[in-house]
Amino acid sequence: MSAKAVILAFLILIPTAAAGYLFTQKPNPPSQLQDTTQSNYVDYTPAAFAAAINKRRVLYFYATWCPTCSVANEDFTVNAAQIPTDVVIFRTDYDRETTLKAKYGITYQHTFVQVDTNGNELAKWNGGGLNELINQLTN
């Protein structure tokens, strides 16, 4: 077989094989991840906080190095369906959100602050999980 015939065979064979492979592939199924825009326990961002203005908003000052924060985080995550639908809990990074810490006088991680529509403090408490949070909420 001549070199030209081999090259020609490769030029025809490779695109044909590639096209056949592409046409036999199935599309990826849609993601099974939870839609976080519908969750009532979310990471704090100014945009998410503003979007929840018509709900009861609670800032949860959380630190990754805090063992009691980890327990509460697990409680909120596992029991997210039990969070009242008119409440959004914002997991707020204790170490990074220094402006919010100063605004609300936060000196201790695992602190909760419920705020009104203007961002003013309605209630503040330390510690606890979902049951304690529900009991502390104001209207």
CB distance 47 to 97 below 8 Å = no
Q: What is the pLDDT of residue 6?
A: 59
Task: Give the whole-angstrom CA distance, residue 91 versus residue 33.
Answer: 19
Q: What is the pLDDT of residue 48?
A: 95
pLDDT average, residue stretch 12-40: 51
In the chain, DSSP assigns E strands to 41-43, 56-62, 87-93, 111-115, 121-126
Q: What is the pLDDT of residue 77?
A: 93
pTM of the model: 0.71
CB distance 137 to 113 below 8 Å = no
Please provide residue 38's backbone torsions phi and psi, each rounded to the nearest 5 degrees: -100, 0
Measure Cα distances from 91 to 6, 22, 50, 85, 98 in Å: 63, 43, 14, 17, 14
Q: What is the pLDDT of residue 118?
A: 94
Lowest mean pLDDT among 24-33, 86-95, 120-129: 24-33
Task: Give the whole-angstrom CA distance, residue 98 versus residue 75.
Answer: 25
Task: Give the whole-angstrom CA distance, residue 134 versus residue 85.
Answer: 12
Task: Give the whole-angstrom CA distance, residue 87 versus residue 56.
Answer: 5
What is 36-136's CATH number? 3.40.30.10
Task: Give the whole-angstrom CA distance, residue 98 versus residue 76.
Answer: 23
pLDDT average, residue stretch 34-42: 66
Q: What is the pLDDT of residues 107-138, one digit of tens each?
A: 999 999 999 999 999 999 999 999 999 999 88
Q: What is the pLDDT of residues 42-89, one digit of tens each?
A: 999 999 999 999 999 999 999 999 999 999 999 999 999 999 999 999
Nearest to 75 by CA among 91, 86, 87: 91
Q: What is the pLDDT of residue 2?
A: 74
Q: Residue 139 — very low, low, confident or very high, per pLDDT cuts 50/70/90?
A: confident
Tell me the domain boundaries of the chain.
36-136
